[in-house]
Amino acid sequence: MSSRKFFHPEADALTLHRILFALSDPTRLAVVRALKDGAERSSGDLLAESVPRSTMTHHLKILREAGVTRTRPEGMRCLISLRHTDLEARFPGLLDAILAHGRSD
- Residue 24: its pLDDT value, please? 94
- Residue 2: its pLDDT value, please? 52
- Residue 87: its pLDDT value, please? 96
Q: Domains of the chain by range and CATH?
A: 12-99 (1.10.10.10)
* Amino acid type, 60: L
Pairing mode, strands 77-82 and 69-74: antiparallel
29: CB partners within 8 A, 6+ apart:
23, 98
Each residue of 24-61: pLDDT tens digit?
999 999 999 999 999 999 988 887 677 888 899 999 99
